[in-house]
């Protein structure tokens, strides 16, 4: 038998809005109620996002000559256009729109179409690849836009009814209905903060960035991914919880270009059955502390290697991903109350919420020339850059922060997040060391790189 929330009935005037108890429908009339009031409230805030990037490549060197182009124009250039289609949600009346980062990644031009067919150009004001979120600002000329109210994703329960609103396959704004199928999905693998709402409301390509809406018409999640072998919905969709969205939106309103989050300063790993048995735990759950960095918030709080984190501010922690999410949705400043098991006994610790320090300074450089690193952006290794680029398990080297398309670095297989340890057996400690090591031509290049906790060496021709 279907179960409806009293919050849903409240939208239709059948129960007080503050009621939270779930109840079985008492009549056929309650079962046949319409979702139209919820849609009318939420739909104006959901938008379509069109992003594009055009790259021009000359087909003949003559077309690079400004005198030649003065007479013949750009007709000899071949334009290659990349396009992306997705959805978004207006979260502030000033014209702030939240969408998925993968919708606008690498794009230079963004347009947004509202539900009433008005169209606006938009600026990308913040990118946060770690959460797959981005914030756009409509070029509105002072217009006030219909913003959607933000709910509380921690208040959701499995079985709650939700609506997914977006633009699937580019057919136009579409509403689908389903339930919360699961919460705290941590093995999806599409963001650094893997902690997703799962729903069976139909989500298809083009829905990315659209709203997952509760029965009060509030945003509770941002639709981001589906599990599908065909490319179409099979009833397994994932949404980023709105409590993570709030952090990114707050950063955009604060005028920053990058979201800064609290830093623990400890490495965590999953608790296996064998570890749980050895610690006297009744089930494998929590996040095991495998290393504590000196002078970090974890060290200052008294966290020790071998501790198992089981709670954060009273919320259960099932694995390292759920701890990362719980800490990631907290604002800098203040403290985090962490419940741990230490040698089988419970203990409570207080962790300060501070950002990772950028020591040493990043000293960013972009390498060029004829080395395998040409086109790579390099930064020094620090707690801040390691946190930003999700690097663990290294204490020396420099990090690749970005790689240009069609560059030598991309061609040889280097990746963002790689840590360069040595070049031709010369140890690399700072970005200046790598610049010096790659400044001249070499008969061969011997690269020692750390990636994903493993170190490998490769030799390339000069």
β-bridge partners, 122: 110, 138
CA dihedral in degrees (375, 380, 384, 389; nearest 10)?
Answer: 30
DSSP structure class, residue 150: B
- Minimal CA–CA distance to 47: which of 192, 157, 208? 208
CA dihedral in degrees (369, 370, 375, 381; nearest 10)?
Answer: -90
Catalytic annotation on 313? no
Higher local confidence (pLDDT), 250 or 8: 250
pLDDT higher than threshold 80 for residue 191: no
Residue 196's pLDDT is 87
pLDDT higher than threshold 80 for residue 182: yes
pLDDT higher than threshold 80 for residue 16: no
What domains does the chain contain, in order, with CATH numbers? 1-32 (no CATH), 44-138 (2.40.10.10), 153-253 (2.40.10.10), 266-352 (2.30.42.10), 365-461 (2.30.42.10)
Cα dihedral 8, 10, 15, 21 sign: positive
Give the distance, in angstroms, between the CA of residue 184 and the centroid of all CA atoms in the same chain: 15
Kindly name the residue from 208, 224, 371, 407 that is annotated as catalytic: 208
In whole numbers, what is the pLDDT of the chain averaged over residues? 83
pLDDT higher than threshold 70 for residue 30: no
Spatial contact of 134 and 127, defined as CB atoms under 8 Å apart = yes
- Of 80-84, 147-151, 174-178, 279-283, where does mean pLDDT reach its minimum? 80-84
Kindly name the residue from 128, 132, 307, 418 that is annotated as catalytic: 132
pLDDT higher than threshold 50 for residue 76: no
Distance, in Å, from the CA atom of 102 to the CA atom of 135, rounded to the nearest integer, reads: 12
Share of the chain above pLDDT 70, in %: 82
Distance, in Å, from the CA atom of 38 to the CA atom of 218, rounded to the nearest integer, reads: 9
Give the pLDDT confidence of 161-178 residue by residue, as tens digits: 999 998 877 777 889 999
Kindly name the residue from 101, 102, 160, 371 that is annotated as catalytic: 102
Q: HSE-up of 329 (CA within 13 Å, CB side)? A: 21
Distance, in Å, from the CA atom of 192 to the CA atom of 321, rounded to the nearest integer, reads: 8
Catalytic annotation on 132? yes
Residue 84's pLDDT is 72
Distance, in Å, from the CA atom of 462 to the CA atom of 460, rounded to the nearest integer, reads: 7
Residue 188's pLDDT is 59
Give the pLDDT confidence of 37-75 residue by residue, as tens digits: 899 999 999 999 998 876 555 445 544 555 444 444 554
- Of 94-108, 151-165, 229-243, 445-459, where does mean pLDDT reach its minimum? 229-243
Higher local confidence (pLDDT), 165 or 453: 165
Residue 265's pLDDT is 92
Say if residue 150 is preceded by a cis peptide, omega within 30 of 0. Answer: no
- Minimal CA–CA distance to 334: which of 355, 360, 365, 307? 355
pTM: 0.78
Give the pLDDT confidence of 356-411 residue by residue, as tens digits: 999 999 999 999 988 999 999 999 999 999 988 888 888 899 999 999 988 999 99
Which ranges constitute the DSSP H helices of 105-226? none
Average pLDDT (299-315) is 93
Distance, in Å, from the CA atom of 250 to the CA atom of 236, rounded to the nearest integer, reads: 30
Spatial contact of 149 and 211, defined as CB atoms under 8 Å apart = no
Residue 193's pLDDT is 61
Distance, in Å, from the CA atom of 95 to the CA atom of 126, rounded to the nearest integer, reads: 14
Catalytic annotation on 74? no
Residue 222's pLDDT is 93
């Amino acid at each position: 038998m279907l179960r409806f929330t009293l919050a849903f009935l409240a939208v239709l005037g059948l129960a007080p809005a503050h009621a939270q108890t779930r109840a079985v429908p008492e009549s056929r009339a309650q079962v046949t109620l319409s979702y139209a009031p919820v849609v009318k409230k939420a739909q104006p805030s959901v938008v379509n996002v069109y992003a594009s990037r055009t790259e021009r490549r000359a087909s003949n060197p003559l077309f690079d000559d400004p005198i030649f182009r003065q007479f013949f124009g750009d007709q000899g250039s071949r334009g290659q256009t990349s396009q992306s289609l997705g959805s978004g949600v207006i979260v502030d009346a000033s014209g702030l729109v939240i969408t998925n980062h993968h919708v606008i990644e690498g794009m230079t031009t963004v347009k947004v179409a509202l539900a009433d067919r008005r169209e606006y150009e938009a600026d990308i004001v913040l990118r946060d690849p770690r959460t797959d979120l981005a914030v756009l600002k409509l070029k509105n000329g002072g217009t006030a836009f219909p913003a959607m109210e933000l709910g509380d994703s921690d208040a959701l329960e499995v079985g709650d009814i939700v609506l997914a609103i977006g633009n699937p396959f580019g057919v136009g704004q579409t509403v689908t209905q389903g339930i919360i199928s699961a919460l705290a999905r941590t093995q999806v693998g599409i963001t650094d903060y893997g902690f997703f709402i799962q729903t069976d409301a139909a989500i298809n390509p083009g829905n990315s960035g659209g709203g997952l809406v509760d029965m009060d018409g509030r945003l509770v999640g941002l639709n981001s991914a589906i599990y599908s072998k065909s490319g179409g919905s099979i009833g397994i969709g994932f949404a980023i919880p709105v409590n993570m969205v709030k952090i990114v939106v707050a950063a955009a309103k604060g005028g920053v270009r990058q979201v800064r989050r609290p830093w623990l300063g400890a490495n965590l790993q999953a608790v296996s059955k064998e570890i749980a048995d050895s610690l006297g735990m009744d089930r494998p759950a929590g996040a095991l502390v495998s290393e504590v960095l000196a002078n970090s918030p974890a060290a200052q709080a008294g966290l020790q290697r071998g501790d198992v984190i089981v709670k954060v501010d009273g919320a259960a922690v099932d694995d390292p991903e759920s701890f990362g999410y719980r800490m990631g949705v907290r604002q800098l400043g203040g403290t985090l109350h962490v419940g741990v098991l230490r040698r089988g006994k419970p203990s409570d610790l207080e962790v300060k919420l501070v950002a990772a320090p950028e020591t040493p300074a990043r000293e960013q450089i972009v390498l060029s020339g004829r080395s395998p690193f040409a086109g790579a952006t390099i930064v020094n290794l620090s707690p801040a850059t390691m946190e930003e680029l999700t690097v663990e398990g290294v204490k020396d080297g420099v990090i690749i922060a970005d790689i240009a398309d069609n560059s030598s670095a991309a061609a040889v297989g280097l990746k963002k997040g790689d840590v360069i340890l040595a070049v031709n057996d010369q140890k690399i400690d700072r970005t200046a060391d790598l610049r010096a090591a790659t400044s001249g031509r070499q008969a061969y290049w011997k690269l020692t790189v750390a990636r994903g906790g493993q170190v490998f060496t490769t030799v390339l021709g000069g």
